[in-house]
Amino acid sequence: MTARAAQWYLDDLTVGQVHPGLSKTITEDDFLGFAKLTGDDHPIHYDAAFAARSRFGGRVAHGLLLMAHTALGATPLSRHLEDSMIAFVGQDCRFLKPVLIGDHIRSELEVAEIAPKPGRDFGRLVFVVRLINQRDETVLEGHHEYLFHLRPKP
């Protein structure tokens, strides 16, 4: 059994910190699993001939499949925030480049904003989230917003 990670709170983080996340190759199984989960079976994702005629030139990953790969819970950072996270309250993103089967992506989360609530024991934390492909191109950029506890007073 591994030792529990040191626990961090809102006031332990600083704007500009970058935390690595998930790194993986996007596979056929990812596409099929997403379709099974959601019912999204658009031919741009599953029909090679249809997708070859598209502006992407091949079967492109679902946008929400990609956004899921930015999840804080899928990063090593999340193990440090188990005691402090209150809630995930919002997200947005822009898809900048297509991701095709066989592309390798890695996520990163950058602390963008820390806003303690005056007189309260918690505050808002905003991450810029990115997915970067094997060519070091940013293919997705967005934001996640959370509520986190401040470090408890002794």
125 occurs within a structural domain: yes
Whether the pLDDT of residue 1 is over 80: the answer is no
2 occurs within a structural domain: no
87 occurs within a structural domain: yes
4 occurs within a structural domain: no
The pLDDT assigned to 153 comes to: 86
| Number of folded domains that form the chain | 1
Whether the pLDDT of residue 2 is over 80: the answer is no
Q: For 27-81, how does the pLDDT look when each residue is reduced to its tens digit (9 = 90+)?
A: 999 999 999 999 998 999 999 999 999 999 999 999 999 999 999 998 999 999 9
Cα–Cα distance for residue pair 21/73, rounded to 1 Å: 9
Instruction: Please give the residue range of the domain that contains residue 134.
Output: 10-149
The pLDDT assigned to 41 comes to: 87
Q: What percent of the chain has pLDDT over 90?
A: 92
98 occurs within a structural domain: yes
Asked if 142 contacts 93 with a C-beta cutoff of 8 angstroms, the reply is yes
Asked if 142 contacts 21 with a C-beta cutoff of 8 angstroms, the reply is no
Please provide the average confidence, as pLDDT, over all residues in the chain. Answer: 95
pTM, rounded to two decimals? 0.91
Asked if 131 contacts 148 with a C-beta cutoff of 8 angstroms, the reply is no
76 occurs within a structural domain: yes
38 occurs within a structural domain: yes
We report the CATH number of the domain holding residue 79 as 3.10.129.10
Higher pLDDT, 142 or 154: 142
Across the range 103-131, mean pLDDT stands at 97
5 occurs within a structural domain: no
Across the range 97-114, mean pLDDT stands at 97
